[in-house]
Amino acid sequence: MNDRQLKQRLKQHKQEIPDNGFSSKVMRHLPDKQPVPALVWIFAIIGTLLFIAISGVQRTTDQVVMMMEKAPWWTLPVASTAIVCIFLVGFCFHEHKTSTSLILR
C-alpha cells in the first residue's frame, strides 16, 4: 500500500460523529461560573486609578457643561436618541447573526 492509498484509506475511515445530545450534556456539566481572570481586574484597577489621577470626574463634568452651554437646545435629545438607535441596531444585528449561526448548525 503506497502513501496515496494509505491517505485514501484513512480518509474513508474518517466519519462525522453525530452530536446526539453530547454538547448539551457537556454544557450541563460545566461549572457554574467562569471566574473573571486576574488580568481584567488589573486593567480595571489601573484604568480607575488613571481616571482619578488625571481628575477624570472634574474634566468630564467640565466638558459636558461646556458642551451644554455652547450647543443648541435640541442637541441633547437628538444625540441621546441617536446613541440609543445605534445600540439597538447593533444589538439586533448581533442577535440576528447569532441566531442564524445557531440555526445553520
Of 15 and 58, nearer to other proteins (C-beta) is 15
Give which of 31, 36, 30, 19 is closest to 102, Cα–Cα: 19
Which of 70, 72, 101, 103 binds other proteins (CB under 8 A)? It is: 101
Residues 17-56 that bind other proteins (CB under 8 A): 17-19, 22-23, 25-27, 29-37, 39-40
83: phi then psi, degrees, rounded to nearest 5: -65, -45
Query: What is the nearest approach in angstroms of other proteins to the Cβ of residue 96?
Result: 15
**End-to-end Cα spacing for the chain:** 38
Which of 6, 46, 57, 64 binds other proteins (CB under 8 A)? It is: 6
Residues engaged in binding other proteins (CB under 8 A): 1-3, 5-7, 9-11, 13-19, 22-23, 25-27, 29-37, 39-40, 101-102, 105
